[in-house]
Amino acid sequence: MRIFIQHIFLFIFVFQATAQLSDFTHISFEKADEIALEYKDETLHNLPDLVYKLTSQLDTDVERFRAIFKWVCSSIANDYNLYKRNKRNRYRYRNDSVKLNAWNTKFQKIVFKQLLRNRSTICTGYAYLVKELANLADIECEMIHGYGRTSTINLKKLDSPNHSWNAVKLNGKWYLCDPTWASGNPNPETYHFEFDFNDGFFLAEPKIFAVNHHPIDKKWFLIEGNTPSFQDFMQAPIIYNKAYSYFSDHNYPQKMHNAIKRNDPLNFTLQLQKEVDTEDVNLIIENSFRERKVHPKQVSIQDKSLSIDYKFEYSGFYDVHLYIKDDLISTYTVEVTR
Amino acid sequence: MKTQVTFTQKIWYVTILLVAIFAFNPAYGQSTSQTRTIKGTVSDLKGPLEGANVVLKGENQGTVTNAKGEFTFPVALKTGDVLVISFLGYEMIEYKIRENTNFVKAVLSDEVVEFMGAVNSNKRYKSKRKN
């Protein structure tokens, strides 16, 4: 009997320890996505009914959560004006906690009204909805608050939390999702929101996620061992949406701004999630006068690790962009001296 | 001496058996007389809430409150059923139907959420240069 119990324990623990993100690769989300799109025009007036419509035909929690996530990302628009209004007031009242609290209370009412009326919101609204809908489907889900970095966020002024996302527990393990960034982007010129679902932000790889997401509470990195410090995060290179489709981690250069001597190699190392042909790896190197596309001579892919060594022949100040095919992955600046 | 089982005795055995079966049947224990129509109101600290969702937990059966915050649950409920009462922006509550419950008075409290938003961007970074 004792041996039997020991085996049961062993079985349970070994199973948990080997649980991977890739556990879900055998599940197709086609049906969940179809359902989400079928009910795309539903309103938020009856959340329990919406959850029933989205989840009742699906068998697993991961599919049910997928239907909810996909629905939120395809039905809720990002409201740029709402974002700007909040940002302005939060900045204005940053040193006056009474006024800031009053604004938060007022703004909360505005946000919920906008959600019901126009189905548009800002990050926390996305994260809130995903959490509420998942909880109604009996799936454990939390809102995570922290810092987010993109190419258009003023990198020097990021002094208070500016972003929210989700953690979800599936089969006993926590995963990360960013519904706001998965839903699409504002048009760079008009700021009009354009839906463009990005799968990379659904059950994202925690290491690449940590490059531009920094939770206030460290445990939500979901990384064992060392986690990036706030300084590491602020100095990290900029990664773009497509980085999440190709890579699971970004190792080198660790910083956005780099200084190097002429003809010394600068190393780029990233961990791949899927097969990439070395032919498709390109750099675009930009200085004040021109930009040129370079196919680096030294590119290697070994055990899913992509490594590039590039030597700058002339001194100067460059913006260096990494591309896979036509997909923008990351940006660095490099100062090359003699 | 051989005992004779009379017809009357047989009837008695069968009757006792039937009573035993029904008395110990768990389904019979939940008397149908206990299900009843539940009415109620949903409000927040300021007053009645229109459009709040009232759902029977674990079932797709529910209703929405009217302009006065009132609802009548569409199916009869029994003791032990749980109603989930929710509304966007408020903490969701679970209300258990007790033996003497005929009217549900639910008061929802605001969910405190601090709203923030970082807009995504796929715009390529460009250094600001002096010249």
> Residue A307: pLDDT band by 50, 70, 90 thresholds?
very high
Residues A122, A86: contact at Cβ < 8 Å? Answer: yes
Q: What angle do CA B24, B27, B33 make, to 5 degrees?
A: 110
**A240 touching B (Cβ < 8 Å):** yes
3-state helix, strand, coil in chain B (%, to 5): 20, 25, 55
In this prediction the ipTM stands at 0.71
Beta-carbon separation of B118 and A107 below 8 A: no
Mutate to test the interface with B, among A50, A150, A162, A239 (most CBs of B within 10 A): A150
Give how far B39 is from chain A: nearest CA, Å: 19
Q: Which residues contact B45 (CB under 8 A, 6 or more apart)?
A: B107, B109
- Span A203-231, pLDDT tens digits: 999 999 999 999 999 999 999 888 999 99
Q: What is the pTM of this model?
A: 0.79
Count of CB atoms situated within 10 Å of the CB of B10? 10
Beta-carbon separation of B125 and A115 below 8 A: no
Mutate to test the interface with B, among A88, A94, A108, A135 (most CBs of B within 10 A): A108
Please state the rounded mean pLDDT for residues B50-77. 87
- Span B72-108, pLDDT tens digits: 998 899 899 999 898 888 888 899 998 888 899 999 8
> Residue A61: pLDDT band by 50, 70, 90 thresholds?
very high
- Span A263-282, pLDDT tens digits: 999 999 999 998 999 999 99
- Span A90-137, pLDDT tens digits: 888 888 889 888 888 888 888 888 888 888 888 788 999 999 999 989
Count of CB atoms situated within 10 Å of the CB of A83? 21
